[in-house]
Structure 1
Amino acid sequence: MASAFLSIVQQIVRKGSLKLTLANGETHTIGDGTGEPVVARLADQEAEDAIRRDPAMRLGEMYMQGRFILEQGNIYDFLSLVKQNTTNEIFDFKMAALLLGRIAWQQLKSRVPVNRNKHNVAHHYDLSAKLFDLFLDEDWQYSCAYFEPPGIDLDEAQLAKKRHIAAKLLLEPNQRILEIGSGWGGMGMYLTEATEGAEFTGITLSEEQLKVSRTRAEKRGLADRVRFELQDYRTMTGRKFDRIVSVGMFEHVGIGHYGNFFRKVSDLLDDNGVMVLHSIGRPKPSFGTNAFIEKYIFPGGYIPSVGEVVLPLEKAGLLVKDIEILPLHYAYTLRHWRERFVARKAEAVALYDEQFFRMWEFYLAGSEMGFRWDELFILQIQIAKNQFAVPDNRNYIERNEAKLKEFEATRAPLEKVTF
């Protein structure tokens, strides 16, 4: 009897070259033979059946457990091969029902008035700082880099990202700056050192990130100008800021809370203030998050479309002053991260275990595939209350970046954080 799994794979993979060994030991060559071959093997029948029934969740799980094995090519090569054939993808009724059920559950969770932000953040960002040190740049930027000019390395691209955002913030002396989701402190220290007399506040829900950020600020002699706090943006009161920045945090807000987010931004932003929001975006609403990513990597996360962001922003009384789409830059960033992470596999396994390493590799590979083939992008929105807070052209961005490069040339080198 023909394998149901094989039949589905044959209907999906029409282009490319896949050599697949089933659980019963049969080997089949699938596709038109073009491109670099990918060779995969299923270790047992239970793994084969699980992937057939629920590929969105179970492929990653079987890879984690070492039961879906790549013998030639890597997990990115396999995912990319499948994705390039998705016009032929086949869904049966059970798979469609499973997908709709997950979407409904995620939509419900995003609207329940229970604050699980700290729990969700801790799931990912309170992992050992040593893990992130394996693959991030020297400043620990865990968000999309800006590869401009093309061909620069990861450290240069992350510096270019900070410079590009700072230029859009229109920094001036003695400003009060807030970062919502302050990571490991790199953006905050950059903005503070680039702005004479600036007072910076960074808020995070990650205790691990808070510890690292405070240590780094103290070592750079910035403790009197840079304050990092364990703080939920929703409960902030009593302060106004001239500039607000949020990089890679909005994806964790949840689609049911966008209105609350922008109303709080409106409360915190000075009437003549400027904000830059940097977030992953997508071309159209998806209503749900990939099942594997939701369970193992970013619980509660959601990637919005431009329309899903702009509507609640405008309803909060804020003005969109500039929107920039950065396509493919995150694919380049994730490729750097994945290659650096895989190169230090032994250290990652020593920190956790082999299964954790494969889970993280699958996450990085799947995310890279999404930005390269699913049309995901980075969305940068410049926000204000006053239409005169921002110039009437974009020439100032290039001018400000040139000034920031002068600052960078005299800035003290970043110190290595040790654990």
Structure 2
Amino acid sequence: MTSDPRIGPLALPDTRARRVVEKLLDGSGVTLNGDAPHDLRIFHPDFFSRVLHQGTLGLGEAYMDGWWECDRIDELACRLLRHGLGERARTPSERLMYRLQSGFFNLQSKARAYIVAEAHYDLGNDLFERMLDPTMCYSCGYWKDAATLHQAQLAKLELACRKLELAPGMRVLDIGCGWGSFAEHAARHHGVEVTGITISREQAELARQRCAGLPVEILLQDYRELEGHYDRVVSIGMFEHVGHRNYETYFQTVERLLAEDGLFLLHTIGSNRSVVSADPWFNRYIFPNGVLPSAMHIAKASEQAHLMMEDWQNFGPDYDHTLMAWLANFDTHWHEIAPHYNERTRRMFRYYLSVCAGAFRARHMQLWQVVYSRGRPGRYDAPR
């Protein structure tokens, strides 16, 4: 059974599961089969038991299956998180299983590093080209003075370049270069030589095309395999895939590769809490083995690597604007790529983008840019 607006939502069954869900929602402002854009409209009688037994995994999969609908999933997610349902929506068995797995196994080892690329980043360049702006940045834009997504992404790239104090002739390493956004911008506008690495074949192929004719080299490589010496190192939207067991190795790798007077910029989503956890739906469908670092995780690991923190900036609310712009692009251009995908994929991406936007709106997640040095002399003044 899937949602069909011609039929309308289901008459709510009088079951214990439904009553429990209604009690959980009480005070959140979210109503079952209500008229507000953030209200849930239910189309399957087993929705309630599925969500109670499977938590956020069941909620996300039920949406992909068409069991429920909501005009503004972003607002629904924001209200639920502000109401405190974020952690309660995950079942104890899900949390325990992830902690056991991450405790006994390195879920982000070199052998497993390519899993997320195959599951997400290699899904199809045609999809991401329509969802993102012309820079192909798949990370938070900087909306301080921007009115459009493209302006925000250009501002983010330029902000990173200014924080790194780039100068012509410098050698720059881009860890997790994606589709070459930073590499192209830095080489074209600041005259630097860039080596970019990614674990995604699709990203590497398109990045090489986009950077053709520029002093840019794109490698399909894991960060732990890197050698060389660089004046500057940057990592934008990649640290979320490193994993807590590898944080020290990551920062030690940067310290080993960075020039004595060099600068390193880390751009990452961050968690408010120092827990080793992952949402089961996102772990299965969007970013397998991904985990968000906390401020303590970052500070402790970078300290072990003898890197000096020069600046820390949080512009997490800008990710809300970025994600909603991606969602608008995705909806507008979906018809162009629909023959290559299925309806379940469309709903998966809409759910992913909407829930993330709501999470940043609720300040459930943050976006940090952190600048490091190896202790170079003199004062560092970070641009804003």
TM-score, scaled to structure 1: 0.83
Conserved? CA contact 1:17–1:36, under 8 Å: no
Q: Partner of 2:54 in structure 1?
A: 54
Cα deviation for residue 78 of structure 1 reads: 3.0
Cα deviation for residue 235 of structure 1 reads: 0.9
Cα deviation for residue 341 of structure 1 reads: 1.0
2:383 to 376, 387, 397: 397
Cα deviation for residue 321 of structure 1 reads: 1.2
Cα RMSD, aligned residues only: 2.3
Q: What does the per-residue CA deviation read over 1:231-270, in whole Å, with 9 as the maximum and x for residues that have no partner?
A: 1110112x10000000000001111100111111111111
Cα deviation for residue 108 of structure 1 reads: 3.5
Matched, 1:212 2:206: yes
One-letter code aligned to 2:231: D
Q: What does the per-residue CA deviation read over 1:349-389, in whole Å, with 9 as the maximum and x for residues that have no partner?
A: 3221000100111111111111111431111111111332x
Q: How many residues align?
A: 372
Cα deviation for residue 15 of structure 1 reads: 3.2
1:236 to 220, 226, 242: 226
Q: What does the per-residue CA deviation read over 1:189-244, in whole Å, with 9 as the maximum and x for residues that have no partner?
A: 11112223x221111111101110111112xx21xx1111111110112x100000
**Residues of 2 paired with 1:326 and 1:301: CA distance?**
21
Q: Partner of 1:40 in structure 2?
A: 41
**Residues of 1 paired with 2:133 and 2:108: CA distance?**
37
**Residues of 2 paired with 1:249 and 1:88: CA distance?**
24
Conserved? CA contact 1:8–1:90, under 8 Å: no
Q: Partner of 2:275 in structure 1?
A: 286
Secondary structure of the corresponding residue to residue 285 of structure 2: helix
One-letter code aligned to 1:175: M
Matched, 1:79 2:59: no
TM-score, scaled to structure 2: 0.90
Q: What does the per-residue CA deviation read over 1:317-371, in whole Å, with 9 as the maximum and x for residues that have no partner?
A: 2111111111301111111111221223323432210001001111111111111
**Residues of 2 paired with 1:393 and 1:384: CA distance?**
10
Q: Partner of 2:195 in structure 1?
A: 201
One-letter code aligned to 2:193: E
Conserved? CA contact 1:12–1:89, under 8 Å: no
**Residues of 1 paired with 2:241 and 2:208: CA distance?**
23
CA distance 1:299–1:204, change in 2 (3 Å): same
**Residues of 1 paired with 2:307 and 2:54: CA distance?**
42
Identity, % of aligned pairs?
28
1:172-321 to 2 correspondences below 5 Å: 172-196=167-191, 198-218=192-212, 221-222=213-214, 225-237=215-227, 239-321=228-310
Conserved? CA contact 1:322–1:381, under 8 Å: yes
1:157-168 to 2 correspondences below 5 Å: 157-168=152-163
Matched, 1:20 2:24: no
Conserved? CA contact 1:266–1:317, under 8 Å: yes
Q: Partner of 1:138 in structure 2?
A: 134
1:322-401 to 2 correspondences below 5 Å: 322-388=311-377, 391-394=378-381, 397=383
Secondary structure of the corresponding residue to residue 231 of structure 2: strand
2:95 to 96, 99, 105: 99
Structure 2 gaps of 5+ residues are: 1-12
One-letter code aligned to 1:15: G
Greater C-alpha Rg: 1
Q: What does the per-residue CA deviation read over 1:293-318, in whole Å, with 9 as the maximum and x for residues that have no partner?
A: 00110001111111101111111121
Structure 1 gaps of 5+ residues are: 22-28, 399-419
Q: Partner of 1:169 in structure 2?
A: 164
**Residues of 1 paired with 2:276 and 2:87: CA distance?**
20
One-letter code aligned to 1:110: N
Conserved? CA contact 1:110–1:300, under 8 Å: no
Conserved? CA contact 2:316–2:363, under 8 Å: no
**Residues of 2 paired with 1:303 and 1:109: CA distance?**
17
Conserved? CA contact 1:145–1:161, under 8 Å: yes
Runs of 4+ aligned structure 1 residues displaced above 3 Å come to 15-19, 87-91, 106-114
